[in-house]
Amino acid sequence: MSQSLSRKQLIEAAEEFGTPLYVYHAEKIEEQLNELNKAFKECNAKFFYACKSLTNINILKLMHKLGAGLDCVSINEVKLGLKAGFTPDKILFTPNCVDFEEIEAGKLLNVHINIDNISMLERFGNKYGSSYPVFIRLNPHIMAGGNFKISTGHVDSKFGISIHQVRHIERIIKSTGLNVQGLHMHTGSEIKDTNVFIAGLEIMFEMARQFPQIEVIDLGSGFKVPYYDDDVRTDVHDLGKKLAQAFTKFEKETSRKLEVWFEPGKFLVSEAGYFIVKANVVKTTTATVFAGVNSGFNHLIRPMFYEAYHRIENLSNPKGAERIYTVVGNICETDTFAWDRKLNEVREGDYLVFYNAGAYGFEMSSNFNSRLKPAEVLFKDGKPQLIRKRDEFEDLLKNQVEVL
């Protein structure tokens, strides 16, 4: 049985807290994590929630309570994780293009550090030698993921150290005594074909054979969730079976039992999130009917940025006749959430909901057009609680320095 919030619950939240509103469902997050635990139970697996998808402190605390670790891409995410109660050994710091000081800051906080370029690896090795274990982020040169913006493992990607530079990595390890505890790859988001992970794994096994101190292989994430009926999802159960076989084989050959780590973001929180807006204007033109809502790409950028599809429903008029709409926001440039979308008749004042709004929704929001960021609400045990206040006008001026 799949956990979801009812139309009634969503409408009540919209009435109580106002719109636009992000709503999250704790039990759905738990269900997703349980599914991963089940799918990979034959593996020696650990899950580190990629918190850049949604960092509200309550979500972090929930993840901690559910037993997940945390994958962080900035030192501030690391600090948020510590504040939420994660111990440093449950935090993996995977920054890209940061200065050495930020990597050192992670070391000072005692978290796992994942280094993604040769120059930083060299500096870290020179300074700390074998005293502090590190992970190395590799770029396996695999094209994977839903689209170019979210693909990170291909040859043109800025992420990771090329697998063709293994000799260089070896030299650094030899000359500095660096202790490489784990190898990492993350080839992108929305990977439908589980063989991408297996291909990456084989490359990493090859390296692990050369470096006997390696204990962990981190396969990143990219688990896809469905965005509409019949949409594909990454078959994590199939992947779990394939990985169990591959790791068992490696263990037989080498007598080494490696851990496998994952960093799911979208998989854990996407479907647990709902974004509720209100239809302000219904405008019929010669070309279409626009449903203009009280939000825009400043609140949910995925449709405009990634051409992502989010299922939309009219919460207020579920039995209304179906019509075709272009759903648009109020930002003063092209701001389209959906083209040619069949919705139950939209009347001005109706609540519309966007599904799959948990991941990269609020987190990528901005104050563009001097609009206020939405509030966030968490449903847990059937009860909605405000977990972030809506921005107020004063927030727009908060860090501005008036000199004129």
Ligand X SMILES: *Cc1c(COP(=O)(O)O)cnc(C)c1O
Give the contacts of 366 (CB within 8 A, at least 6 positions apart): 298, 301, 373
Q: Is 311 annotated as a binding residue?
A: no
The interface with ligand X within residues 163-192 (CB under 6 A) comprises: 186, 189
Site of tokens 């096994």: 205
112 binds ligand X (CB under 6 A): no
In the complex, the smallest distance separating the C-beta of residue 325 from ligand X, rounded to whole angstroms, is 29
137 marked among binding-site residues:
no
Quote the distance between the C-alpha of residue 154 and its chain's center: 19
306 labeled part of a ligand binding site: yes
Stretch of 162-170, 218-226, 327-335, 377-385 contacting ligand X, by CB under 6 A? 218-226
Residue 101 among known ligand-binding residues: no
Burial class (CB in 10 A: 0-12, 13-18, 19+), 252: exposed
**Cα 23 to Cα 379: distance, rounded to the nearest angstrom:** 7
- Answer for which of 23, 62, 72, 73 binds ligand X (CB under 6 A) is 73
How does DSSP assign 27-82, residue by residue? HHHHHHHHHHHHHTTTTTEEEEEEGGG---HHHHHHHHHTT-EEEESSHHHHHHHH
Task: Between 153 and 384, name the residue whose CB sits nearer to ligand X.
Answer: 153
Assess 225 for contact with ligand X (CB under 6 A).
no
Can you tell me which of 55, 74, 94, 317 binds ligand X, judged by CB under 6 A? Answer: 94
- Is residue 100 within 8 A of residue 122, CB to CB? The reply is no
| Residue span binding ligand X (CB under 6 A) among the ranges 220-228, 343-351, 373-381, 388-396 | 220-228
**Which of 128, 159 has the CB closer to ligand X?**
159
Residue 96 beta carbon to ligand X: minimum distance, rounded to whole angstroms: 8
Residue in 183, 189, 185 with CA at minimum distance from that of residue 144:
189
Q: Which is nearer to ligand X, 261 or 354 (CB)?
A: 261
List CB contacts of 16: < 8 A, sequence separation 6 or more: 384
139 near ligand X, judged by CB under 6 A: no
Contact residues for 129 (Cβ-Cβ < 8 A; gap 6+):
176, 177, 178
Tell me whether residue 332 is one of the annotated catalytic residues. yes
273 binds ligand X, rule: CB under 6 A:
no
Question: Annotated binding residue at 302?
Answer: yes
Q: Looking at 46-54, 118-126, 301-309, 393-401, which segment touches ligand X (CB under 6 A)?
A: 46-54
- 151 touching ligand X, by CB under 6 A: no
Range in contact with ligand X (rule: CB under 6 A) among 26-34, 264-272, 349-357, 384-392? 264-272
Applying CB under 6 A, does 25 fall inside the site for ligand X?
no
Contacts of 246 (CB under 8 A, 6+ apart): 198, 201, 202, 205
227 near ligand X (CB under 6 A): no
CB 297 within 8 A of CB 304: yes
Based on the shown chain and the rule CB under 6 A, indicate whether residue 222 belongs to the binding site for ligand X. yes
Dig out the tokens for 210 from the structure: 């050369």
| 278 vs 310 by CB, closer to ligand X | 310
CB 275 within 8 A of CB 300: yes
Residues that bind ligand X (CB under 6 A): 50, 52-53, 71, 73, 94, 186, 189, 220-223, 263-267, 359
Known binding-site positions for substrate:
302, 306, 333, 360
Which residues have a catalytic role annotated? 332
